[in-house]
Structure 1
Amino acid sequence: MARRAAQDPEPVDPPRERASDAEREDVAAMLARAMVAGRLTPVEYSDRAAIAQAARYRDQLDGLLSDLPGFVLHSSHGSDVLDLEAGLGGSITRRGYWKVPPTVRVRSWVGRVLLDFSEAEATTAVTAVELVTGMCTPTIVLPEGATADVDDLRISAGAVRDETVHRRERGDLHVSVRGRHSFGDVVLRHPVRGRWERLRALPAEAPRSVARRVTRVHRPARPDARRSDGPGR
């Protein structure tokens, strides 16, 4: 009897990844926000929060968020994290095209911090920006249609200046700003449109006075203009 050909070995499932305390706390916080948004009932939140606190593996935590749009558990290590750190008075700037991982960690003291997502490529629908900053004004620029939250951000001797467009549902990109910041404001805004872009955005039937007013606001003063002290002079 012919010997049977050796069969390929059966694929082995990858080992399950252990969950960390920080990941369990992140999931519990996301479940709380989902309840406030009306996606979970108080009973559902209580049941899932208890499971999250007792979870040993990451796939158990993932299952608690699978039916909640926009809520994703991010890994806390490896290529999923971008660490941006500047020395005292140093500058951190990301603008133009750059690839955004699920988590961006920023550490800066007395230095400029600018994260411009308007032309960036995000690898996930939700990006966490973790701040450990002070004595500066971190500025986060979101593309039109993107949303943000600062639910897990702690600020001392400062405030959040949120100039973004708020909506009930999360945008295609959602930035969750968390961590701690002291002695300065945190600014969230959309890209600043130039003068001509604002003029083009005016409706066609807008009164001419409106267009003239917009134009005058941004018209530089003539350096050779003479001051008038009264009629006839």
Structure 2
Amino acid sequence: MRSDELEVTVSTPASRSGSMRAADTDRIEVAQLLTDAAASGKLGLTEYESRLNRAYAAQTYDELDRLAADLPGAVTRGRSGPCRPAPSSVLLALLSGFERRGRWNVPRRLTTIALWGGGVVDLRYADFTAPEVEIRSYSIMGGQTILVPPEVNVDLRGIGVMGSFDDSVDGDGSPGAPVVRIRGLSVCGSVTVKRKKRKPAKA
């Protein structure tokens, strides 16, 4: 090779193997795809929850791909990108009430406040945008109810002063499913956390 010649080596990125370890982002993405399918009637409730549990427990891309391969919108995804949680938000009930139900994006941090009012946060049909969620709940002369689906893991710790703040929730979640950490304070009020099954979609 002459001294004025430059040897250039072009390398191509190694193809991503289906046996590679999946990231939280991938599991969340497939969970949202499954929820889309359930909401549109393409998956029944039992099949949806079965696949959802397997998606959260999946370790590799192959496992995730098999769960979504027969669904519309299933494509080769961008792998292992960073989780992009929904923005933190606050729900306030002041002599009134709030409700967050149905399909909505659960942020990484959610603060709920009931002052002489009440509120309901229903996570059963929501899309989780992060593997861990922190909910700060405060009730003063008011009451709040937080509903969690069967697969979600719950870490619950709060203080009740002349009121009640649940210190446990029935049942265990599923391996790999999102963790919801609930903290807060209830003064002459209540914060109630219930694990509740989803209802089949109406025909």
| TM-score normalised to structure 2 length | 0.50
Higher relative CO (Cα under 8 Å, sequence separation at least 6) belongs to 2
| TM-score normalised to structure 1 length | 0.44
More helix by share: 1
- Greater Rg, structure 1 or structure 2? 1
